[in-house]
Amino acid sequence: MLDHVETILATVELPDHRDEDPIAGRERFYRQHVDGRRWLRVVVDFNDVPAWVVMATVQRNDPREPRR
């Protein structure tokens, strides 16, 4: 993750999509086409001060599409 800190922070600062996480106090931030085709998902926990990144991962599916 340390090799991608700039991309992770850019995703939180200017996401292409934003969504609530199932866990209260967390949000999901998404950046489209992070590697040309997949999405970067960054989960941030706002329950603590300062807020902190819980997870950053890539995913193939579009988070704006309804879940099945």
Q: Residue 11: name the closest of 41, 49, 52, 51 by CA.
A: 41
29: its two tokens? 């931030």
**Res 61: pLDDT:** 92
Which residues contact residue 30 at a Cβ distance below 8 angstroms, ignoring those fewer than 6 apart?
11, 15, 16, 17, 18, 19, 39, 40, 41, 42, 63
Q: Domain-by-domain residue ranges, the chain?
A: 2-59
Does pTM top 0.85 for this prediction? Answer: yes
Q: What is the pLDDT of residues 11-53, one digit of tens each?
A: 999 999 999 999 999 999 999 988 888 999 999 999 999 999 9
Which residues contact residue 3 at a Cβ distance below 8 angstroms, ignoring those fewer than 6 apart?
none
Q: Is the peptide bond before 50 cis (omega within 30 degrees of 0)?
A: yes
